[in-house]
A and B are shown apart, each in its own frame.
Chain A
Amino acid sequence: MSTKTPAAPAKAPAKAGPRPSGSKRLFRKIEPYIWIAPSIILMAIFIVTPIFKVFQLSLSDVSRAGKIKGFNGIENFVKVLKSPAFGLVLKNTLVWTVAVVVLSTVLGFMLALVLNNQFRGRKAARAIVVFPWATTLVIQASAWNFIINKDYGTLNTLLMKIGLISAPVNWTPTPGAYFAWEIACGIFVTIPFVTFCVLSGLQSIDASYYEAATVDGAGYFQKLFSITLPLVKSSLTVSTVLNIIYVFNSFPIIWTMTKGDPANHTDTLVTYLYKLAFYNGKQGEASAVSVIGFMILLACASVYMIYTLRKGDEDL
């Protein structure tokens, strides 16, 4: 394994020993790269190479079978941008991403604070909360699709039995309503991820901070904003950054519930490009959509990286 380091010299008691020799100093220099090598190799083969392939395809004239027939510049991009559906798809993607990420982060954080309390049944509650995350999106989306069905869905049955409604309600009268249900489903499955990221951050906070703050007379919100938030900020940042990416690229919920229909009204970029590639055989244009989506995420990520990593370097 590449994680092996020379064990022999370090075995000797090194307290205030002589300065490291030349070869040892060289090793110190290259050591970090040995530690990150396995990860880099793995990602280079299975992520970077496909990325290059997609970029290449986006600039090529591609046959229906996926063979490159030649370079055709930005023609694929022009075709995509000119298509009337693209604006709608872009808008849907924005609404979908912002709604799901913001709402699930707020709700997930609140839920984490609730579950971090000591109460009877806490273990059971935590176990239950992870359910939606432990469930594959396809199954979750199928379940919700079944629940909200206007003809035989269990939501209507349930509400009628309780007496809240007297006749079955059509929960999805418009494409917009269906899209809202898809967003709700997205929030539902994203909350546990945020909650458990925050919980793992909350757990590593030493209780003595709170004790000291309580002795000093700090109120709940004071403690929340001056102890809890700063200390879980890194967990929260990780969950938010990854959520933006995952939700932006999320495919199974929309695919299972509406397949982007009717007429692109519930399509996001990924479902749109999937249809282009595998239904319409336009792999070049589909790759162009991939690249456009990637550019949008990259723009968001650049803002974040400039802001955070610069700060991180100061801390080092």
Chain B
Amino acid sequence: MSQPAASIRKKPVSMKKAILRLLLYFVVLDVCVITLYPYFAMLCTALKNRVEIFSSNGTILPVTALWSNFIDIWSRAPMAKYMLNSVLIAGGSTIIAMLCGIPAAYALARMKFKGQTAFLGFVIVSQMFAPVVLLIGIYQVMQRLGLTDNILGLIFINAAFNQAFTIWLLRGTFMGISAEMEQAATIDGCTRVQSMMKVLLPVAAPGIVTTLIFIFINAWNEYTVALCLISTDEYKPLTVGINTFNGYNMIEWQYLFAASIFAIIPVVILFMCIEKNLVSGLASGGVKG
């Protein structure tokens, strides 16, 4: 393995490389096709009419694309309201989760204090209960606080249930970054808060952004608690709202999937915007800066 016989091995290596390259593209292509298939099926179905969907002689692509399905859903259900609620819930949850999570992760990564292990243990244990398991308890607490049927209530619940993830991921990110630069900044007269904001956070940006995305997506996609706490149509997020098309007796697949696509698109677009930051590898840049 460790023989430096580069000159002898040169040819087979490049041959191997070409094959690996081909294999790589093959794997990536397969993964992409399989991943996109449900979305392709949803889009095609959203463009069909009822008869075509339930026909035994099925089609893959719609015979005629019924784009009006995408317009109809806005009048058949208060979609705009649902959308706004989802934005408020996901955005609010992300902000609160980060405001609470960053300092906690920083303390865990950079300070030594009594009860550190206990706090970490508490963070893990707090996550053992999914909201669905605690639904009865959550409902009673929210009732006490007057936050049932309230978007603010959902924001707090989402932020709280995302704390463990925020803290774990950020702590890992912070610990992976040497504290030397922050110490240097402190010697130059920065306070702890300043050195964190100006030195650590920019370097930790890829990890922070990853965390942000995950919380936002989590909160946007939350379903069970919203279903339980929100009874007024006006406060429903998209995930709950689209079930208007999922009736007891029959499912309006074309409307359900048309609405679903609206629920999926914003999150995907948002992710694509931030994905560039992830790729640019700020961590290695931070060492030079």
List CB contacts (< 8 Å) of A1-47 with chain B: 1-7, 10-15, 29, 31-33, 35-36, 38-43, 45-47
Count of A-B residue pairs with CB < 8 Å: 315
| Contact in complex: B28, A42 (CB < 8 Å) | no
Q: Is the CB of B104 within 8 A of A38?
A: yes
Instruction: Report yes or no: B38 in contact with A251, Cβ–Cβ below 8 A.
Output: no
Known: A121-B28, A316-B112. A35 touches B107 (CB 8 A): yes
Query: Interface readout for B121-137 with A: 1 if CB under 8 Å, 0 if not?
Result: 11111111110111111
- Whether B207 sits at the interface, judged by CB under 8 Å, is yes
A125 to B27, CA, bound (A): 11
Interface residues on B, range: 35 or more
* Segment among A49-57, A72-80, A88-96 that sits at the interface with chain B: A49-57
A169 CB–B CB distance under 8 Å: no
Question: Which among B27, B56, B103 is the interface contact of A152 at CB below 8 angstroms?
Answer: B56
CA distance A114 to B260 in the complex (A): 30
User: What residues on B are CB-neighbors of A83 within 8 Å?
Assistant: none
Quick one: closest B residue to A283, CB to CB?
B136
Given contacts A5-B191, A146-B41, A157-B60, contact A46 B108 (CB under 8 A): no
Q: Which residue of A lies closest to B217 (CB)?
A: A134
B120 at the binding interface (Cβ < 8 Å): yes
A5-B193, A142-B256 known; A45+B160 contact, CB < 8 A: yes
Interface residues of A in 76-134 (CB under 8 A from B): 111, 114-115, 117, 119, 121, 123-134
- B268 CB-CB contact with A under 8 Å: yes
Q: Please, which residue of chain A has its CB at the minimum distance from the CB of B130?
A: A249
Question: Could you tell me the distance between the alpha carbons of A13 and B188 in the complex, rounded to whole angstroms?
Answer: 7
What are 20 A-B contacts with C-beta separation under 8 Å?
A: A31-B192, A32-B111, A38-B103, A41-B100, A42-B100, A43-B122, A50-B134, A53-B140, A54-B136, A114-B28, A124-B32, A126-B275, A129-B35, A130-B271, A136-B220, A139-B239, A204-B173, A290-B134, A301-B124, A301-B128
The 8 closest A-B pairs by CB, nearest first: A50-B137, A249-B130, A53-B137, A136-B221, A46-B160, A35-B107, A157-B58, A32-B113
